[in-house]
Structure 1
Amino acid sequence: MNLLHNDVITAFLRLPMTLRILFISIFIIATFGITITFIEPNKFPSFFDGIWWAIITTSTVGYGDYVPDTFLGKLTAILLIFIGVGFISTYFVALATTAVSKQNAFLEGKSTYKGDNHIVIIGWNERSKALIKSLILEHSKASITLIDASLEKNPMPDSIHFIHGNPNLDETLIMANIAGADKVMITSDQGKDELHADMNSILTLLAVKGLNPTVSCIVEILKTEQVSNAKRAGADQIMETNSLTSFVMHSSLSSQDTMITFLDLLNQFKEKKLEIVPLQDREFQKNIDYITLSSHLLKEGKLLLGVKREGHTFFNPTAAFPIKAGDKVIVIT
């Protein structure tokens, strides 16, 4: 019996402060409410009337519809006011404090993300900022978690969940629920030189894959020499930012008109959507060539750019290029 009693006390003490104060307040209200019905049964004909009086008294509302007349009844009311009002006030103060603490923890990146199938973006910079805005415009209910060690507060509290910490550490990734993430984007740290930025990105990739080997990871790499290391670490897709920038600059020097057209095409992607669609979802998947498939898609308002097959991409193949089951088509919608 003593062991059961100790277990109950231990379980009670482990409850959050707000719940403990609430249970104590309910116990006090019930005890005094029932007691007053025994002391003054004429004034308080039922237990409900007594409990109603106790609630009104401890909340300091004081309607006056039930008032004790006897000395013992008034003494009970005095004790209730001294004991009950203090606990009720403490409960609401603790409740407000807890709400404020949780809000501050959310803004400061100290609260754990508890959702699943979310997108984790590592690193706060202009690229990740633009990416988050694009994701929100595309899917207003997109679940996005940002991990960054340099920010002090959530930069977009209405749109994302923020985790403040080093993304190389397991405890930070666990707070972001990396095990339940759908995709991870690792951006390069602009505060470091290119080599150390790449090393930091690869180390973060290793930490992510260690906790969730199956999650799709997109990694930004600055130096071409580190691409092979990123692949060994398990990167599913690598963004060579410097190579892409050099290509654009070189093309601008070679043919300004061509590059302006290319950049205009990229800007169109902000309004239109580039999609890779599995062919098996389509009704005309058998005995069809590239030009026939292109005609079908044009009728749906989609421009066919190419075909993906077994890891290879074929852009604008010949008109007679055969389309096979299992192919994926690259279209602009």
Structure 2
Amino acid sequence: MFQQFYYRFLRWPVILRVLLIAVSVILIFGTAIHFIEPKSFPSIFTGIWWAVITTATVGYGDVYPVTIKGRLLGMLLVFIGAGVLSAYFASLAASTIRSQNSLLRGEKMFNGQNHIIIIGWNGRSKNVIEQLLHLNNHHPIVLIDDTLEENPFHNRQVHFIRGKPYIDETLKKANLPFSTIVLITADQHKTEIHADMGTILILLAVKGIHPNAYCVVEILTPENVTNAKRGGANEVVQTNTQTSFVMMNSILSHGMSDTLLSMMDYLHGNQLIFIPVSVEWEGISFQSLCTLLLKERKILIGIKNGEETIMNPPPNQIILKTDELLIIS
């Protein structure tokens, strides 16, 4: 029986073992001094109070032993108790440092909810995280990457997990089932084809654990866009195609790249977003709705219905309940 308890005791964390020993020493010596000197220590609680103060080397002097036996017990308590308490606080400090280091190195599990998971470390993911932090986004951010040695952001809102993102264990450490959005960026250390293959593999792993997660994936080659959608991607960011479109517009109309960036710059109050159709807007024309939205400093530039987006539709086109409105706000 004793051996079983002893082996279980050895499995406890060091800090709990030392704390239990310290409490036991205080209780034993506090009770013993009460029976050795009942006049100076009229109750067991008084003895325990003295043991705590003596062990902590504070020494208020309100109660103290006067007999030789009591003083010998006090000396023994100082030698034993001070050492045990020192070991406890040293273990506590070491445990705190280990916890901080494991958090910094991405070894600690994330236990929050409604968070945004960003997979892959590169210039694009760095800018996304920085913008989310500047926008005072209240959702925690979890960064997953296997190339970083430690968290690149010294911010409590950004939790780092080091590991391969296509492995279930890594995704579970990010508490994936309780996340809201997952952004998967392309691996900058691979060729475009291999980067897309890795992105789709991660997407399959994410959807396998959390089928309802809204997944935004970065795809570099046009032929893999369909594969990403087959894998369950809710939105595909075609980095190379979008960049080439911006370049083409800059060739045809100088200065267009800066203008497009300004339109999508959330940090300066500009937003290019989709909004749902309100009840009072149903059945009116595109031109009439443009006039209404201009009063709110919103410019209507297109309509999306399903997978089709129409830019600058005819003025007399009727707004439907199922439409989404593309506006610049």
**Shared topology, TM-score over 0.5?**
yes
User: Deviation of residue 12 (structure 1)?
Assistant: 4.9
Percent identical: 45
Amino acid at match of 1:292: S
Listed one character per residue, the Cα deviations across residues 43-102 of structure 1 (whole Å, up to 9, x for unaligned) are 122333222211111111222222101122112212322322222111111110111001
Change in Cα spacing, 1:54 to 1:246, as seen in structure 2 (3 Å) is same
Match of 1:309 in 2: 305
CA contact (8 A) 1:136 1:142 kept: no
CA contact (8 A) 1:178 1:212 kept: yes
Amino acid at match of 2:291: S
Instruction: Determine which of 113, 118, 123 is the counterpart of 2:120.
Output: 123
Match of 1:207 in 2: 205
User: Deviation of residue 8 (structure 1)?
Assistant: 6.5
1:94-243 matches, within 5 Å, as 94-158=91-155, 159-243=157-241
Amino acid at match of 1:81: V
CA contact (8 A) 1:40 1:73 kept: yes
User: Deviation of residue 261 (structure 1)?
Assistant: 3.4
Listed one character per residue, the Cα deviations across residues 215-236 of structure 1 (whole Å, up to 9, x for unaligned) are 1111111111222221221111
Cα distance between partner residues in 2 of 1:315 and 1:139: 32
- Of 316-325 and 187-196, deviating more is 316-325
Cα distance between partner residues in 2 of 1:14 and 1:116: 31
Change in Cα spacing, 1:195 to 1:310, as seen in structure 2 (3 Å) is closer
User: Deviation of residue 140 (structure 1)?
Assistant: 4.0
Listed one character per residue, the Cα deviations across residues 254-292 of structure 1 (whole Å, up to 9, x for unaligned) are x133xx23531322321212332222xx45244433233
Cα distance between partner residues in 2 of 1:287 and 1:245: 37
Unaligned runs of 5+ in 2: none
Amino acid at match of 1:310: G
Amino acid at match of 1:240: Q
Cα distance between partner residues in 2 of 1:302 and 1:10: 70
Cα distance between partner residues in 1 of 2:18 and 2:299: 64
Instruction: Determine which of 236, 257, 267 is the counterpart of 2:262.
Output: 267
Change in Cα spacing, 1:224 to 1:170, as seen in structure 2 (3 Å) is same
- Of 69-78 and 39-48, deviating more is 39-48
Q: Does 1:324 pair with 2:306?
A: no
Cα distance between partner residues in 1 of 2:283 and 2:250: 42
In the alignment of these two chains, the number of paired residues is 325
Using structure 2 for the length normalisation, give the TM-score.
Answer: 0.91
Taking only aligned residues, the RMSD between alpha carbons, in angstroms, comes to 2.2
Amino acid at match of 1:50: G
1:69-108 matches, within 5 Å, as 69-108=66-105
Using structure 1 for the length normalisation, give the TM-score.
Answer: 0.90
- State the SS of the aligned residue for 1:293: helix
Listed one character per residue, the Cα deviations across residues 289-319 of structure 1 (whole Å, up to 9, x for unaligned) are 3233333322222222223333432332223
Change in Cα spacing, 1:317 to 1:9, as seen in structure 2 (3 Å) is farther
Cα distance between partner residues in 1 of 2:302 and 2:145: 37
User: Deviation of residue 121 (structure 1)?
Assistant: 0.8
Cα distance between partner residues in 2 of 1:251 and 1:299: 30
- State the SS of the aligned residue for 2:280: coil
User: Deviation of residue 248 (structure 1)?
Assistant: 2.1
CA contact (8 A) 2:246 2:256 kept: no
User: Deviation of residue 40 (structure 1)?
Assistant: 1.3
